[in-house]
Each structure stands twice: as structure tokens, then as C-alpha cells.
Amino acid sequence: MTKPNIAIIGGGVAGLTAAVYASRANASVTIFEKYGLGGLTATIDKIENFPTYNVVNGFDLTQNLANQVKLLGANIVLEQVLDVKKQADGTFEVVTNKQNYLFDAVIVATGTKHGKLGIESNYVGKGVSYCATCDGNFYRNADVAVVGNTNSAVKEALYLAGLCKTVYLIYNGNLQGDEVAIGQLKGYANVQFVSNSVVTGLVGDDFLEGAVVHNVEDGTSTSLAVEGLFVAVGSKPETEFLAGIGAQMVNGFVMVDDRCQTSVEGLFGAGDVTNGTLKQIVTACGDGAKAGSFAVVYAKKLLASR
């Protein structure tokens, strides 16, 4: 019997989990990933809410999952997906920056990309970063700032607090981090909370030297002398390549049902790229399990109908 042929677009925890379940259901699985396996989870220093671990490093967690996927025989293709087209016979054409492929079903698990301030382009890699775990060591014993009121902003500041001389957490509105993490952050004497504020400008010649901070409550502006600025202002879904297929979306997020099926039969979504309300590693894994399983069910029906 011919094996179902499943494409998974995205190599984060949702896509990798989908690969595990689809592979174990006797499908032929291909994962498309434009960078490397692991996604944003691989950049997290400490994960403290994943079942079975008190604390686990994100890189270690994703590498264990990637190794499991490889042992199950999944094919890893390091190419960027540009388009997905559904054919008249129910199959899908996946178009990458290198060639075209045909599959019986497709799972979209591309996650999200970092949100931006819109003023930092000249300083990216020259003082501006989106990942404290990746770049924090470059600013050991320096003064830095984190901008954002997200849970990610709190975690970034926590990581940097153990490395840097001073960490300014600049945010507007209520901090959205979990109470345990916020409590830990308040325990650091070198962390300063700059509330009701936004970053309106960056200064420096070749490299970042400071940030202009505007207080939205009293209208005043001040300059902070910092060598590093870590931006954690939320994220946007990676779904541009789905523009032509007609899947229902809300604010760029793919709408899925309780089987992770999109409005296009045979096209599934999993993880942070979907409309799911809780964006967590464990929920991405759950989505991956459903998407991988039900994508194989669809593909098997398609093969049986030929």
C-alpha cells in the first residue's frame, strides 16, 4: 500500500510533534524549515512549565524532539516555502525557493516572527537584538534595556539580570508575564522598571549608545545610556505564503477546528500560527499531535478514493 505523503511547514515544536505522530501513523513525512529545527523555543534559556521538567533548556528540549523525528525517518528540507496550492485531485503543491513538491496533505506550523518597533533597523546586530539568550553574553556587565510588556519581555529581562550591570524594563500598560517570573524579576537590585513608557528613538553612530524613552502619562522624554536594546513587543504569524490558497484567517492567524483542520480540506495548522488562545510549548505539542494524526487520516482517504 502506498504511504500517505505529508508535508509539514515549520520545524518548531508543533511541526516536530506533528512529524512524530504522522510518522508513527506510517506516513512519509517531509519537514520544510528555512533555518534550523527548533524554532523560537530553541532560543529560550529556561523553561519552567513544561510537564516532567522542573527546568529545561529550550535548545535541549527541541534537539531531543528533533532527534526523535530523525530516528522515525522524516525528511528534513532546508528551503523556504513560498506558496501552497491545492490541486483538482485533492493533493497539494508546495512551492519553495528551489523547486516544487506534491503532497497528499499539508500541515502549517510556521509559528510567529518577532514584532518590531519600526525604528530599529539601523541598529539590528549593532546593539538591537530580539533574543537575550542568543546575544545577551555580548552585553555582560553593560547597561541594557528590554522593551515590551509581554511575558517574553519579562523572561528576557530575567535572563539579562544575571549578566548585565543594569537592566531597564521599558513597558506601557500592565506587565503580562506570569506572577512567578515577575516576582523573580523584582528580586534583582539591578533591574529598573520604566512603566507607562515607550521607546521613541535610538541614538548612536556606528553602534547603539542610547534610547529615547517617552512617558505617555506625563508627556516627558528622557534618554537612557544603554549599549543593548532587546525588543520583545509581541509577535506576528508567519503566513504570507498562504495568501493564495484561501484559508480562513484572523489577523494573519490560521483558523482551525478541534482537529486542527483549516477551512481548506487537507490543510492543517498547528501551534502559534493558529488562532489558539494559549500560546505555549505544551499546547503547540498538543496541536502537533492532532494535526499529524488527522492529516494522515485525510491522506489515507484521499489515496483510497483514487
pLDDT of residue 234: 86
Residue range 32-72, pLDDT digits in tens: 999 899 998 998 888 888 999 999 999 999 999 999 999 99
Q: What percent of the chain has pLDDT over 90?
A: 89
Looking at the structure, do residues 211 and 294 belong to the same domain, yes or no?
no
Domain boundary among 231, 249, 266: 231
Looking at the structure, do residues 51 and 184 belong to the same domain, yes or no?
no
Looking at the structure, do residues 28 and 81 belong to the same domain, yes or no?
yes
Looking at the structure, do residues 139 and 194 belong to the same domain, yes or no?
yes
Looking at the structure, do residues 126 and 227 belong to the same domain, yes or no?
yes
Domain boundary among 207, 231, 255: 231
Domain boundary among 182, 210, 231: 231
Domain that holds residue 202: 121-231
Looking at the structure, do residues 126 and 151 belong to the same domain, yes or no?
yes
Residue range 174-230, pLDDT digits in tens: 998 789 999 999 999 999 999 999 999 999 999 999 999 999 999 999 999 999 999
Domain of 253, CATH number, reads 3.50.50.60
Looking at the structure, do residues 152 and 188 belong to the same domain, yes or no?
yes
Residue range 13-29, pLDDT digits in tens: 999 999 999 999 999 99
Q: How far is CA 281 from CA 2, 219, 275, 278, in A?
A: 33, 39, 15, 9
Looking at the structure, do residues 242 and 110 belong to the same domain, yes or no?
yes
Indicate the number of domains in the chain: 2
What is the value of pTM for the model shown?
Answer: 0.83
